[in-house]
Amino acid sequence: MFAIVRTGGKQYRVAAGDKIAVEKIEGEAGDTVSLGDILLAGDGGEVKDAKGLTVSAEIIAQTRGEKVIVFKKRRRHNYRRRNGHRQSLTLLRILSVGEAKKAAPKKEAAPKEEAASTEAKAAAPATEKKAAAPKKAAAPKAEAPKAETEKKPAAKKAAPKKDA
């Protein structure tokens, strides 16, 4: 059985036992990851429904790809820039392509009655503190006189007259 999987913005055709290099995925060597974005699945020449399928893979190593040289040049302007880049990659070994396993139902940490009583205890002291503290009346805001805030245009001084 094979599947088309999308991860890291790229698509890969995978089957059980394949090794692929994908964009970096968080995890250590030996961890098992699940690739959930399955676009297409098939068995032999038949195409199957991809809903409910998962691809499980084991991380082989966290590595880096080959160095790519980025060189920029503009003619007749004495402009040259040389830069290098190595992409971070994760090597995966595909373990299985198949149905998603349903997770076991989670156990509740505390029954609802106990949880409600702990919430009530936590809320009780806060309400007592609020009731004990008297509320202060809001102080009226003092308004500034309008005459002080408005500026009057400066009076022009008359130029002295010259006798001719």
- pLDDT tens-digit series, residues 112-128: 555 555 555 555 555 55
Q: pLDDT grade, residue 61 (50/70/90)?
A: very high
Are 41 and 2 a contacting pair, CB within 8 Å? yes
Q: Mean pLDDT over all residues of the chain?
A: 80
Instruction: Report which of residues 108 and 151 the model is more confident about.
Output: 151
Mean pLDDT of the region 36-58: 89
Distance CA 153, CA 146 (A): 15
Which helix or strand (DSSP H or E) is residue 132 part of? helix 112-132
Residue 164 pLDDT: 58
Q: pLDDT grade, residue 49 (50/70/90)?
A: confident
Among 32-41, 45-54, 57-66, 151-160, the range with the most confident prediction by mean pLDDT is: 57-66
Q: pLDDT grade, residue 162 (50/70/90)?
A: confident
Which residue do the tokens 């509740």 mark?
Answer: 108
Phi/psi of residue 43, nearest 5 degrees: -140, 110
- Residue extents of the structural domains in the chain: 2-99
Q: pLDDT grade, residue 104 (50/70/90)?
A: very low
Confidence check: pLDDT of 159 > 90: no
Cβ neighbourhood burial of 1 (10 Å; 0-12, 13-18, 19+): middle
Residue 24 pLDDT: 96
Mean pLDDT of the region 47-68: 93
